[in-house]
Amino acid sequence: MAEINKNGQIIPIDPRTALLLLLLVTIAVFSQHSFYVEIATLLVIFGLFLYGGLAESGLKFVLQFGFLLLLQYAIFPVAPKLFTDTFSILAAYARKVLPCAMMGAFLVKRIPMRYIVLAMRKWRFPQKLIIPLSVTIRYFPAIREEMGYIRDAMKLRRISGAARIEAYIVPLMFSAANTAEELGAAAVTRGIENPAPKTSVIELRLCPRDYVLIGCGIVLAAAAFHLR
Amino acid sequence: MTAIQVNISRKLKGKDLITIGIFSAIYFVFNFIFMLVSGFHPVLWILMPGLIALFTGVPYMIMASKVQKPGAIFLMGFITGLIYFATGMFTVIILITFALACVLAEAVRYLTKYKSFAGNMVSFAVFSVGMIGSPLPVWLFKDSFFDQISEQGMSTEYLSSLNALANNTILVVMILAPAVLAIAGALIARALFKKHFEKAGIVKTWQR
């Protein structure tokens, strides 16, 4: 079963497997023309969710997919024209990217960022790319949080129109610039500029389950090209 | 007495990399918002590169001011492209135009020595045009593109309104809009620099 690390986090699969699977699912989703491949992709990822102990969130994605199918095949043909016009492209697009979004959600929920950094290091990504990329991914939740605070502050002061946009952007930039200063100082203190190769307490090892998953991904991507 | 050595290294340091990472996150979020909005109507899709340019001017110019070194824009573009690609939202065409735009924007910055407002504004205009790769397939592979999206379940109304837009005039508008609106975005950024950021010491004043 899934491994549990010292911090009590469940790490169901090797981060490299998860990243490869994301890539393969993306290839499969965007080159498939067959409904069966679409369903198979979804089921493989759903299986992965069950294995990683994320049954509830996996079920939510499957239900969303079902809802989109219902919308496209049962509701759009009979709905008013305006409704269909507005939502048809969104529904088609959402259905298309749903497996990728699901795989992405799995990564976010089950693979901690340090494992992803480690995977990139194993693949010999340059350090100059790993650092900003990991900062970018870690900063997304901070942006969301910041936006919430700004919204609360704005409620107190009745700001409207174009001033609202300014009132969002300016504090966001201030906090970003300050975070960059502080994080930069902290990272330099902790030796980010040390040219010696980085070491890690975590050891990555590919297990049979990783090979099985990568195999599934390759089969799906190959099937996407050949089945019509 | 030895004079204090001024470090004029052009290599990206730890702090620069972190700054690039943070502003790439903000750039990506703004970009993504308009990517989502563009799903509502063909006109929004075609104007998307321009709208993104108008709103991302501020983060781009702050980053350009804070990291006056080669590679900053390239990394920002690479990160944006990588996240979009990994989540399946970039086609090959947009990857190509985006990469070209990043390289050209870096070249503009190199030639204008990184320090001037005008040079960075031009590099931002070039960088912004990279997003045209998203609607470009409409013109590049006109017929096969329409076949493909109708197969994906787009409504006939959407197809016909997109078809009506797929002419050469709109193509020129689509390409020029990001360049023009990028300049507007950069000017907005300069106004905000004067009003807020320079006073607070977050960014340096641009050199002439």
Q: What is the pLDDT of residue B103?
A: 97
Give domain status of residue B43, yes or no. Answer: yes
Q: Does A74 touch chain B (CB under 8 A)?
A: no
Q: Which of A14-23, A94-103, B51-60 has the lowest mean pLDDT?
A: A94-103
Give domain status of residue B32, yes or no. Answer: yes
Give domain status of residue B151, yes or no. Answer: no
CA A42 distance to own-chain centroid = 15
Asked if residue B125 lies in contact with residue B116, where contact means CB atoms within 8 angstroms, the answer is no
DSSP A194: -
Asked if residue A88 lies in contact with residue A76, where contact means CB atoms within 8 angstroms, the answer is yes
Give domain status of residue B143, yes or no. Answer: no
**B17 vs B39 pLDDT, higher one:** B17
Tell me how far apart the alpha carbons of residues B19 and A154 are, in angstroms, rounded to a whole number: 27
Confidence at A1, pLDDT banded by 50, 70, 90: very low
The mean of the pLDDT values for chain B is: 89
Question: A131 and B17: CB-CB below 8 Å?
Answer: yes
The radius of gyration of chain A's CA atoms, rounded to the nearest angstrom, is 22
pLDDT cut 70: percent of chain B above it? 94
| B17: CB partners within 8 A, 6+ apart | A128, A131, A132, A135, A192, B75
Q: Which of A4-18, A111-125, B193-207 has the lowest mean pLDDT?
A: A4-18
Give domain status of residue B132, yes or no. Answer: yes
Return the bridge partners of B116, or none.
Answer: B207
Give domain status of residue B44, yes or no. Answer: yes
Question: B88 and A139: CB-CB below 8 Å?
Answer: no
Counting every residue written for chain A, the total comes to 228
Q: Residues A46-98: pLDDT tens digits?
A: 999 999 989 999 999 999 999 999 998 888 888 887 787 778 777 888 888 89
- pTM of the full predicted structure? 0.89
Q: Kindly list the residues from chain A whose CB atom is less than 8 angstroms away from the CB atom of residue B21.
A: 131-136, 139
Asked if residue B53 lies in contact with residue A168, where contact means CB atoms within 8 angstroms, the answer is no
Question: A136 and B83: CB-CB below 8 Å?
Answer: yes
Q: Residues B61-99: pLDDT tens digits?
A: 999 999 999 999 999 999 999 988 877 777 789 999 999
Give domain status of residue B1, yes or no. Answer: no
DSSP B88: T
Q: What is the pLDDT of residue B1?
A: 44
Q: What total of structural domains would you count in chain B? A: 1
Place of tokens 């995977």: A119
Q: Which domain holds residue B27?
A: 13-136+177-200
At residue B94, the 3 state secondary structure works out as: helix
Confidence at B171, pLDDT banded by 50, 70, 90: very high
Asked if residue B139 lies in contact with residue B171, where contact means CB atoms within 8 angstroms, the answer is yes
Give the count of beta carbons closer than 10 Å to the beta carbon of residue B144. 9
Torsion of CA B17, B59, A145, A178, to 10 degrees: 60
Give the count of beta carbons closer than 10 Å to the beta carbon of residue A145. 11
Tell me how far apart the alpha carbons of residues A193 and B93 are, in angstroms, rounded to a whole number: 36
The two structure tokens encoding residue B49: 């590169």
| Mean of pLDDT values over B131-150 | 87
The two structure tokens encoding residue A25: 């699912």
| Mean of pLDDT values over B162-173 | 90
Give domain status of residue B170, yes or no. Answer: no
Distance from the Cα of A209 to chain B's closest Cα (Å) equals 22
Distance from the Cα of B191 to chain A's closest Cα (Å) equals 11
Give the count of beta carbons closer than 10 Å to the beta carbon of residue B65. 22
